[in-house]
Amino acid sequence: MNQQSGIEPIYILKEGTSRTRGHEARAMNVAAAKAVSNAVRSTLGPNGMDKMLVDGLGDVIITNDGATILKEMDIEHPAAKMIVEVAKTQDEETGDGTTTAVVIAGELLKQADELLSQEIHPTTICEGYYAAAKYAKEVLSEIAFPVKPENKKILTSIAETALTSRISETAKNAFCDMIVQAVSLVAEKDGKINPDHIKMVQKVGGSIQDSMVVHGMVIDKERVHSDMPKEVKYAKILLLNVALELKKPELNATIQINSLGEEQAFIDEEIRMIRKMAEVIIASGANVVFCQKGIDDIAQGYLAKAGILAVRRVKKSDMDNLARATGGKVLNTIKTINRMDLGSADLVIEKKIAGEEMIQISGCKNPKAVSIIIHGGTTHVVDELERSLHDTLMVVADTISNKKAVSGGGSIEIELSLRLMKYAARQGGRTQLAIEAFARALEIIPKTLAENSGYDTIDVLVGLKKSHEEGRVSYGLDVFTGTPADMKKYGVVEPLKVKIQSIMSATEAAVMILRIDDVVASSKTGEGGGPEGMGGMPPGMPPGMGGY
């Protein structure tokens, strides 16, 4: 716009659109990202606190899981959403380390903000951060120690580290044993594990100590006929993906019956066809039938008379897991049933679990799918237990498939920080400053563990750095004494994959935000505003989130 030359101002953006550029845009985005990081920081570590989240309908969630907190906070600011994506990606990839990734991302941006104030170009900072992350990944691979899938002690320690602060100490050991047992059972020969093969069943009632692993499956169904047996020992299980009833015509059809005899003949033919289906099943030797589709009333009667327990309309995912658990095969026809297609289990029983009738298939030999029944006093308790157990399941699975782990308690972050400082000195130039900033940012993890446990952060960092300079790589913060301790010896260990993913995700998010120098935000429907160049903040900066 040049008024002196008489040129009219030109507006290229729609009225009401706001635009923020340069340092102001970066500062605003960094402030939003730091606010998100600070929102979950107090949940980190064994002494981390929980958050109570209440939605618009009044539903309450109580959790200290970083991914769940950020998901339920309904954040709108675009830069803050990028940090939420970090937690989402971390949770999907590894199941744990979400809070660590978000806290590191926030601290990387805080350190970058200080470099920007010294007029160091964002591109230089980004280059330094990428170089530091790459070097950190190399160091992590170097100092990680191998874990054999059959080493139940290490796997249990990894499970305990993931569960610490989430459930009571009295129940933690039992749950760790359950998770390790379940993951070990469903693991493939190559170490790969599909979490969907471990079904978690929530039941409100009883105490969390009543939770248990079933070497088989628990199906949220009941018998189709009251005359069928409630309990079958040494079960021979038939899995069907075909309806035990006559198909209805796909097109509208009319059947003309001229006499009572014809009507009876029609009914008799229907009964004969259904009886034939039932006889094929009875002849197969099966005494338990799980059907993915419907079972006709007449077929139910024949099966009940033969002492067969039948369940209908079982979900496809449950049918697949039943096949893996029992060793059976899901059949798409009943014309020919081979005895080799039948699965087996020591016991199939209909029983009440927390007041609801369910079918429990247990005693399966070498099951490749299992169930965990989670008990708790309230819905909030069992919901948080399931989230915690899912994360723990994922980290144990990560360890078995990746076969490497590292010590926890902030030990890895301190070691990386010290090594990055030495690495930075070898690089020189302004990139050195960015790498040093990355190194300082990693110290946020032991600092946060100290803060959440009520210890002085300076004393803790000095003690940890002294231990690591003396070569004690696995020394981290003992949150119960406030002193350095050997985390590996105390069983505070984490999967290597979780650590690498958290650092790489945090770096990528921080770099993406730092590279933004122009924010153009359209006005919301019905809102007014000024012309291009008026500045302003993108819509959705949450109040109380530490806005710029």
Question: Nearest 5°: phi and psi at 232?
Answer: -130, 120
* Within-domain flag for 8: no
pLDDT number for residue 380: 81
Clarify whether residues 412 and 395 are in a common domain: no
CATH at residue 311? 3.50.7.10
Helices and strands in the chain, H and E counts: 17, 19
d(CA 323, CA 307): 22
Phi-psi region of 127 (alpha: psi -120 to 50; beta: other; left: phi over 0): alpha
Q: Output the CA torsion 364→366→368→372 (10° steps).
A: 50
Residues serving a catalytic function are 65, 98-99, 391
pLDDT number for residue 458: 94
Q: Model confidence at 331, in pLDDT bands (50, 70, 90)?
A: very high
d(CA 513, CA 276): 68
Clarify whether residues 431 and 344 are in a common domain: no
The per-residue pLDDT for range 109-160, each reduced to its tens digit, is 999 999 988 889 999 999 999 999 999 999 999 999 999 888 888 998 898 8
Q: Does residue 81 surpass a pLDDT of 80?
A: yes
Clarify whether residues 354 and 261 are in a common domain: yes
Between 160 and 261, the higher pLDDT residue: 160
CATH at residue 177? 3.30.260.10
* Within-domain flag for 337: yes
Q: Does residue 482 surpass a pLDDT of 50?
A: yes
Between 236 and 205, the higher pLDDT residue: 236
pLDDT number for residue 219: 92
Q: Where among 402, 421, 454 does a domain terminate?
A: 402
* Within-domain flag for 252: yes
What rounded mean pLDDT belongs to the chain?
A: 84
Burial of 490 (0-12, 13-18, 19+ CB in 10 A): middle
d(CA 115, CA 231): 70
The per-residue pLDDT for range 442-476, each reduced to its tens digit, is 999 999 999 999 999 999 999 999 999 999 999 99
pLDDT number for residue 402: 86
Q: 288-291 and 231-240: which strand pairing?
A: parallel
d(CA 476, CA 453): 14
d(CA 257, CA 254): 10
What is the total count of domains within the chain?
Answer: 3
Q: Does residue 4 surpass a pLDDT of 60?
A: no
Clarify whether residues 159 and 249 are in a common domain: no
pLDDT number for residue 539: 43
Q: Model confidence at 538, in pLDDT bands (50, 70, 90)?
A: very low
pLDDT number for residue 218: 92
Amino acid, res. 275: R
d(CA 99, CA 42): 9
Residue by residue, DSSP assigns 266-317 as: HHHHHHHHHHHHHHHHHHTT-SEEEESS-B-HHHHHHHHHTT-EEE-S--HH
Domain extent, residue 204, equals 153-215+371-402
For residue 173, the tally of other CB atoms under 10 A from its CB is: 13
State which H helix or E strand residue 213 sits in.
strand 212-214
Are residues 369 and 214 in contact, defined by beta-carbon separation less than 8 angstroms? no
pLDDT number for residue 523: 66
Question: Is the torsion defined by CA of 406, 407, 410, 413 positive or negative?
Answer: negative
Clarify whether residues 223 and 362 are in a common domain: yes
pLDDT number for residue 537: 43
* Within-domain flag for 547: no
CATH at residue 509? 1.10.560.10
d(CA 263, CA 21): 83
Clarify whether residues 34 and 124 are in a common domain: yes
Q: Which of 10, 17, 16 is nearest to 520 (CA)?
A: 17
* Within-domain flag for 266: yes
Burial of 548 (0-12, 13-18, 19+ CB in 10 A): middle
Clarify whether residues 429 and 468 are in a common domain: yes
Tell me which DSSP letter residue 184 carries.
Answer: H
The per-residue pLDDT for range 307-321, each reduced to its tens digit, is 999 999 999 999 999
pLDDT number for residue 6: 61
Clarify whether residues 454 and 481 are in a common domain: yes
pLDDT number for residue 1: 44
* Within-domain flag for 5: no
- Of the segments 204-213, 242-251, 277-286, 532-541, which one has the largest average pLDDT value? 277-286
Q: Does residue 9 surpass a pLDDT of 80?
A: no
Are residues 108 and 129 in contact, defined by beta-carbon separation less than 8 angstroms? yes
Clarify whether residues 170 and 206 are in a common domain: yes
Percentage of the chain beyond pLDDT 70 is: 86
Question: Is the torsion defined by CA of 125, 129, 132, 134 positive or negative?
Answer: negative
* Within-domain flag for 534: no
Q: Model confidence at 2, in pLDDT bands (50, 70, 90)?
A: very low
Between 63 and 501, the higher pLDDT residue: 501
Give the range among 55-64, 349-358, 423-432, 505-514 with minimum mean pLDDT: 55-64
pLDDT number for residue 533: 38
pTM: 0.77
Between 309 and 211, the higher pLDDT residue: 309
* Within-domain flag for 139: yes
Clarify whether residues 349 and 245 are in a common domain: yes
Percentage of the chain beyond pLDDT 90 is: 42
pLDDT number for residue 248: 61
Are residues 415 and 139 in contact, defined by beta-carbon separation less than 8 angstroms? yes
Clarify whether residues 224 and 343 are in a common domain: yes
For residue 149, the tally of other CB atoms under 10 A from its CB is: 16
Clarify whether residues 272 and 310 are in a common domain: yes
Q: Which two tokens stand for residue 331?
A: 């059949």
pLDDT number for residue 515: 86
Q: Model confidence at 173, in pLDDT bands (50, 70, 90)?
A: confident
Mean pLDDT of 18-41: 81
Q: Output the CA torsion 441→466→452→509 (10° steps).
A: 20
Are residues 240 and 412 in contact, defined by beta-carbon separation less than 8 angstroms? no
For residue 119, the tally of other CB atoms under 10 A from its CB is: 7
pLDDT number for residue 547: 37
CA 419 from chain centre, in angstroms, equals 32
Q: Does residue 306 surpass a pLDDT of 70?
A: yes
Alpha helical stretches, state H, 313-361: 316-326
d(CA 310, CA 179): 30
Give the range among 69-78, 254-263, 394-403, 429-438 with minimum mean pLDDT: 254-263
Give the range among 21-35, 177-191, 194-208, 369-383 with minimum mean pLDDT: 21-35
d(CA 144, CA 242): 51
d(CA 299, CA 279): 9
Question: Is the torsion defined by CA of 38, 39, 42, 46 positive or negative?
Answer: negative
Residue 260 forms beta bridges with which residues? none
pLDDT number for residue 333: 87
Three-class secondary structure of residue 214 per DSSP? strand
Mean pLDDT of 264-292: 84
